[in-house]
Chains A and B, each alone.
Chain A
Amino acid sequence: MALKFPIFMDAQSTTPADPRVVEAMIPYFTEKFGHAASRNHSFGWEAEAGVDRAREQLARIIGARDPKELVFTSGGTESINLAIKGIAEMYREKGNHIVTTVIEQRASLDVGKRLERQGYEVTYVPVRPDGLVELEAIQKAITDKTILISVMFANNEVGTIQDIAAIGRLAKDKGIIFHTDATQAVGKIPVNVETMGIDLLSCTAHLLYGPKGVGALYVRRKGPRVRIAPLIDGGGHERGMRSGTLPVPLIVGFGRAAEICGEVMAVEGARLAKLRDRLQDMILSNVDEAFLNGHPERRLPHNLNISFAYVEGESVLMGLNKETALSSGSACTSSTLEPSYVIGALGASAELAHSSIRFSLHRFTTEEEVEHVGARTIEVVKRLRDMSPLYELAKEGVDLKSIRWKAE
């Protein structure tokens, strides 16, 4: 099959909607356009039925006992805000301390910062060089004021998958509520709120081949019954936890997307892991001083993150951007002008953070695309190294650390 450009290999930023998802959504824009909270006519009942079905589909993929435990939101960011702020407010009397990690996504970290300004205390537990959080480190961070442990399921940059079940057990033992940001994991790898002891779980549709603009927060109802204060007040929708007219077409799409993921997960995960491994082998065996970021095994099957020493990430992306969409931890590609704090937290030098490239594969990625992207990446990195003063110095045997750089 001929390659079609540009190739999308940035599926941890978003995924294309599955055509079957779009198909399921369409009637809910036109014929079945009712307000899901309209109790007295068929338009409302139809819309409500669509939402109920989606809630069941979603409950199934995360192993929730009761679909009512799911609250629809506008996406992962809102779910995370609702979970952490909602617990902080609701359990203020009980304590003011939250334990989280340094590699959470921005939404979690920024909520933490805001809560700190409001008088809460947040401990950001460090991670190992492979991205794993040590259970002991979490345990040590817990105080008698701890009301919440919040740890991401799988990392958005390096794909490292945490031992969520172990953290869930620890939280249960200590009687602390446990939230996980599972935006990158749901639909991709097995997630089960019951067996993993998860009390709150954030997820989003657009990372599992659903539409943008809808997410969900799982809120445990039994053992323990978790209560959260809402962020948005209004008509009392979603059992008072999230008011606002439900975006029925988006929710229907979310449900369908989750259902498809459930059906194909094992096969799709194995296929993508094989393609990812091929890409990894190709690059690492052809480029010297290229380093894999994250855990080599405990990693999302569609994720590959590599630092290419002596070349800057944005310049690699620029060499490929006509044909391939990727992302980099380089400062030049971030809005904050700082290199990736995730790669930094793994103990890599800032230089290697600037040099990191993330490849993320998806349902529609083909073998031909992987071969092409691998070959072109190797070419571009080699070309850039030929014009890198750092590579030249390193090849001359100069220790770059011995040079007194004049930082701006």
Chain B
Amino acid sequence: MAYSEKVVDHYNNPRNVGSFTKDTPGVGTGLVGAPECGDVMKLQIKVNLDTGVIEDAKFKTFGCGSAIASSSLATEWLKGKTVDEASKIKNTDIVNELKLPPVKIHCSVLAEDAIKAALADYREKHVADAEASR
């Protein structure tokens, strides 16, 4: 089974690999998957606290080429979106963009889970920060 061009491109030139310090204000971190399943994604967003726009996103992924591509693509899409807009990204969007075959759909599901986890982490911390500053 050959990989789609877009998967190969993201694998060879992954966008936004890296990490933010977790406790930086505005940073939300999602860590999903499990080593024994062969897939772990860490996805982080950095939200502008004034505008609610995701200014930057980073990822690190342990997994197959499609998992790397799915998370790389997710970081690209997250940048510039508001937190609300970001929550609307669906795994099927990733499947269509990367032309993932059926056996790789779980990679896109994991990427959606990673986005949701990062957003949830951001909201939780943001609300806590806001309450603390009140």
Residues of A within 8 A of B (CB): 310-312, 314-315, 318-319, 330-332, 337, 339, 349-351, 354, 386-392, 400, 403, 405-408
* Residues of chain A lying within 8 A (CB to CB) of residue B33: 405-408
Could you tell me if B37 and A311 are in contact, using CB atoms closer than 8 angstroms? no
B38 engages A312 (CB within 8 Å): yes
Partner of A314, one of B32, B34, B59, B65: B65
The A-contacting residues of B in range 26-43, CB under 8 angstroms, are 31-42
Chain B residue at minimum C-beta to C-beta distance from A330: B38
Nearest-CB residue, chain A, relative to B42: A389
| Given known contacts A349-B36, A351-B36, A405-B35, A387 and B14 CB-to-CB distance under 8 angstroms | yes
Let me know if A407 and B36 touch, CB within 8 A. yes
In the assembled complex, the CB of A254 is this many whole angstroms from the nearest CB of chain B, namely 31
Our pick among B41, B64, B103 for the contact of A318 (Cβ within 8 Å) is B64
In the complex, whether B80 has a CB less than 8 A from a CB of chain A is no
A312 pairs with B36, CB closer than 8 A: no
Q: What chain A residues lie within 8 Å of B11 (beta carbons)? A: 315, 318-319
The closest CB in chain B to the CB of A331 belongs to: B38
CB-CB under 8 A from B40, the residues of chain A are 389-390, 405
Residues of B within 8 A of A (CB): 3, 8, 11, 14, 17, 19, 31-42, 59-65, 67-68, 103, 106, 109-110
Chain A residue numbers with a CB within 8 Å of B3 are 318
Closest-CB distance, B74 to chain A (whole angstroms): 14
Q: Is the CB of A314 within 8 A of B64?
A: yes
Task: Name the residue among B3, B67, B68 with the largest chain A CB count within 10 angstroms.
Answer: B68
Partner pick for B60 among A312, A351, A389, A405, CB 8 A cutoff: A389
Across chains A and B, which 9 residue pairs bring their CB atoms closest together, nearest first? A405-B34, A350-B36, A389-B42, A354-B38, A351-B35, A314-B64, A389-B60, A318-B65, A407-B34
Shortest distance between the CB of B7 and any CB in chain A (Å): 9
Shortest Cβ gap from B38 to chain A (Å): 4
Q: Are B64 and A312 in contact (CB under 8 A)?
A: yes
Chain B residues near A331 (CB, 8 Å)? 37-38
Residues of A within 8 A of B36 (CB): 349-351, 354, 405, 407
Check B34 against A387 for contact (C-beta < 8 Å).
no
Bound-state Cα–Cα, A408 to B67, Å: 14
Once the chains bind, are B103 and A386 in contact (CB under 8 Å)? no
